[in-house]
Amino acid sequence: MMLLPNGIRHLPEYLDRPRQEALVETIRAIVAEAPLFVPAMPGTGKPMSVRMTNCGSLGWVTDKERGYRYQEIHPVTGRPWPAIPDELLALWQDIAGYEKPPEACLVNFYSDDAKMGLHQDRDEKDLGAPVLSISLGNACLFRVGGTTRTDRTLSFKLSSGDIVVLGGAGRLCFHGVDRIYPATSTLLKNGGRINLTLRRVNP
């Protein structure tokens, strides 16, 4: 386990290849039920480069008019999100060290040219629970900073099967994805990267 500044935990190769493959199949089923959508920035409506969907009782969404929020239904289909699969609930039990289960699992799909700007996860009412992030597919350059945007940042590579835990002092740290490294994994036949983010929303 790699301990980074602010107590952020990096668990390299936490998931072996068979577990990664099983997760990808599970995600395929979720995406079939809750299709990927293009999120838009609040105010400007500028589309983000990632596509996303969710599973869980709540999903994180954003659009021009209403901005960042959690809601119970898919913004395009209007249906409830699929349930969080047992394998992810088990992962949370094993790693998060938090009594209540996650309510939201954000599924972000990064094409090989997608990025995610530095941001904080601060839309959850329960900031005591950690945020658990799972990487699948092509590697990425991940960047983490401190709790203000101007704090110095540290960049490192995340590979398929890696898990990052933002908890404790690191819960509100700025973080983002600067680039995807194309063709660095054979897990996803069509390339790209999937990130799963498990979060507890309500105390």
Partner DNA sequence: CAGTACCG
Partner DNA sequence: CAAA
Residues that bind DNA (CB under 7 A): 41-44, 46, 48-50, 60, 68, 106, 115-123, 143, 149-150, 152-153, 155, 176, 178
Contact residues for 6 (Cβ-Cβ < 8 A; gap 6+): 144, 146, 147, 169, 170, 173
Consult the annotation and say whether 108 binds a ligand. yes
Give the nearer residue to DNA in terms of CB position, either 61 or 91: 61
Contact residues for 42 (Cβ-Cβ < 8 A; gap 6+): 62, 63, 64, 66, 67, 68
Give the nearer residue to DNA in terms of CB position, either 17 or 66: 66
* Closest to 26 (Cα-Cα) out of 182, 196, 199, 159: 196
CB-side exposure of 156: number of CA atoms within 13 Å?
Answer: 17
d(CA 142, CA 159): 10
- Minimal distance, residue 36 CB to DNA, in Å: 15
* Closest to 163 (Cα-Cα) out of 27, 61, 16: 16
d(CA 164, CA 14): 10
Give the nearer residue to DNA in terms of CB position, either 88 or 144: 144
d(CA 55, CA 32): 12
- Minimal distance, residue 40 CB to DNA, in Å: 9
Give the nearer residue to DNA in terms of CB position, either 185 or 195: 195
Consult the annotation and say whether 10 binds a ligand. no
- Minimal distance, residue 71 CB to DNA, in Å: 13
Consult the annotation and say whether 70 binds a ligand. yes
- Minimal distance, residue 21 CB to DNA, in Å: 26
Give the nearer residue to DNA in terms of CB position, either 43 or 78: 43
Consult the annotation and say whether 152 binds a ligand. no
Contact status, residue 49 vs residue 27, Cβ threshold 8 Å: no
Consult the annotation and say whether 68 binds a ligand. yes
Consult the annotation and say whether 121 binds a ligand. yes
Binding site, annotated residues for 2-oxoglutarate:
108-110, 193-199
